[in-house]
Amino acid sequence: MNQVTSNSSRFNLRAQVVQTLLKVQQGQSLASILNTQLNQVAERDRALFHELVLGTLRQWFALKSISLPLLSKPLNNETVETCLYVGLYQVLCTRIAAHAAISETVDATKQLGFPALSGIVNAILRRATRETEDFEQGLQQAHGLPSWLFKRLKKDWGEQTEALCQSLKQVAPLTLRVNQRHIGRDAYLAKLQSLDIQARACLFSEAGIVLEQSVQITQLPGFEQGWFSVQDEHAQLCATLLPDLNNKTVIDACAAPGGKTAHLLEKFKPAQLIAIDQDPSRLVRVTENLNRLALDQSHTEILAADATKWNPVQPVDCIVLDAPCSATGVIRRHPDIRLLRQSSDIAQTIELQKQILEHMWQQLKVGGTLLYITCSILKSENEQQMINFFTEHPDAKEVKIEADWGIEQVHGRQLLPEAQSGDGFYYCKIQKIA
């Protein structure tokens, strides 16, 4: 299929959005391309570009389900289909004037090399403006997930699936973790309020604050001084589940981008903290975060290492294992996962989790604690992984998490994504008893 991939001034903003979405369909993650793509967009348009890319991805499969019945035959053209979804997203989900959304999207279709098919895009978008209520209803009712994922969630969560799908279509809230080495949460909330920035304390995280309006993070008070980080509320619960780590030796396995590493140093003073990750480029973020937060790193080591093979000098007191997973719990923040993740990936991921878990378990002292974490909502990566682990490890004992959050599983607790609250996370706390 002929696709335009080079950028130039002859492409309007919608065409640039479509080009970015085509790259995602070709298997590139937003994390790897978004900044480059943004830099090619005029500064005044970057916020809109960002919204159109993420919003269209968030609604991708819902937009697909409402547009398919409108086509007499499949388009079989990724570029034009993407133009159609971007147009429908604008008409149904934004405040952009319909006439502007339609004309810009039709122009984009022509600019990207398909003038003959621009009439179809025009006709469907105009119909959407005439039958807005029906289209909005269709969008609302669609589960909005690739069919393989929907089937898995249905199997795992039964009656909860519909509410879960609706939650996954929402925009995730912007949540801060206050660095309590610098300032208390209440004091920081007071600072925000004095600047008329709407914010509230998180329900479950003692250091968390949800921002209730759109803000520029770098402009918030104390950014340069390291008073806070951006971190989901449910991810913040990690540090609250750990035993006292003062003067202990700790491994943060699969540590990048370093949110948990930083939180451990904010809450404890370990004798040694070793943060490992296989990807050296992602470890740069860990160092940058720790530096900005002005945390004591004199007993911290950041290593590029493979968690299935690397051994510490001697066994350690605690391991925080944020295992690789499908990331289905954070789809709201990373909507490209809807397109990038395939059903066939899951079995490979489960095997990798098992390898890391087995190897890390060997690095733990008797009496030590391993906290197993994923940002997945699939039971095969969470509950089932733990059932298999405990079956094979008589030297392992679950430490029940007594909490008023999440859903108790056979082992561990599962948090599901909630509107105006945290993402999907799973935690299981394990003690080595022999």
Q: Is 277 annotated as a binding residue?
A: yes
- Does residue 136 form part of some domain? yes
Q: Is residue 38 part of a domain?
A: yes
Count of domains forming the chain: 3
Task: State whether 223 and 265 are in the same domain.
Answer: no
Mean pLDDT in residue range 324-341: 97
Same domain, 262 and 401: yes
Tell me, yes or no, whether 297 lies in a domain: yes
- Which of 210, 230, 250 terminates a domain? The answer is 230
74 annotated ligand binder? no
260 is known to lie in a ligand binding site: yes
Contacts 24+ apart (CB under 8 A), 308-315: 308/352, 308/355, 308/356, 308/359, 309/359, 310/276, 311/363, 312/249, 312/251, 312/274, 312/363, 314/249, 315/363, 315/364, 315/365, 315/368
Q: 195: buried, middle or exposed (CB in 10 Å: 19+, 13-18, 0-12)?
A: exposed
Which among 205, 230, 255 is the end of a domain? 230
Q: What is the mean pLDDT of the chain?
A: 96
Does the residue 158 lie in any domain? no
Same domain, 365 and 265: yes
Residue 32's pLDDT band (cuts 50, 70, 90): very high
pLDDT (average), residues 407-411: 98
Q: Are residues 96 and 78 located together in one domain of the fold?
A: yes
Is the pLDDT reported for residue 8 higher than 80? Answer: no
pLDDT of residue 72: 84
The reply to whether 375 belongs to the active site is: yes
96 and 220 housed in the same domain? no
Beta strand 272-277 with 249-253: parallel, antiparallel or unpaired? parallel
Do residues 269 and 382 share a domain?
yes
Contact (Cβ atoms closer than 8 angstroms) between residue 428 and residue 412: yes
- 199 among annotated binding-site residues: no
Q: What is the pLDDT of residue 9?
A: 64
Percent of the chain with pLDDT over 90: 95
| Residue 190 covered by a domain | yes
Q: Do residue 353 and residue 273 come from a single domain? A: yes
Say if residue 83 carries a ligand binding annotation: no
- Predicted local distance difference test score (pLDDT) of residue 89: 98
pLDDT for res 3: 45
The answer to whether position 150 is within a domain reads: no
Average pLDDT over residues 164-179: 96
**Has residue 105 been placed in a domain?**
yes
Query: Looking at the structure, do residues 30 and 61 belong to the same domain, yes or no?
Result: yes
| pLDDT grade for 318, boundaries at 50, 70 and 90 | very high
Residue 316 belongs to domain with CATH number: 3.40.50.150
Pick from 120, 142, 164: which residue ends a domain?
142
Are 115 and 90 in a shared domain?
A: yes
Is there a binding annotation on residue 244? no
Domain boundaries, position 114: 13-142
147 in a structural domain: no
Query: Which pLDDT tens digit goes with each residue over 90-122?
Result: 999 999 999 999 999 999 999 999 999 999 999
Same domain (yes/no): 328, 360: yes
Task: Please report which confidence band the pLDDT of residue 74 belongs to, taking 50, 70 and 90 as the band edges.
Answer: confident
Nearest CA to 36 out of 48, 44, 28 is that of 28
Each residue of 239-248: pLDDT tens digit? 999 999 999 9
Determine which one of 165, 238, 325, 375 is catalytic. Answer: 375
376's torsion region: left (phi>0), alpha (psi -120 to 50) or beta? beta
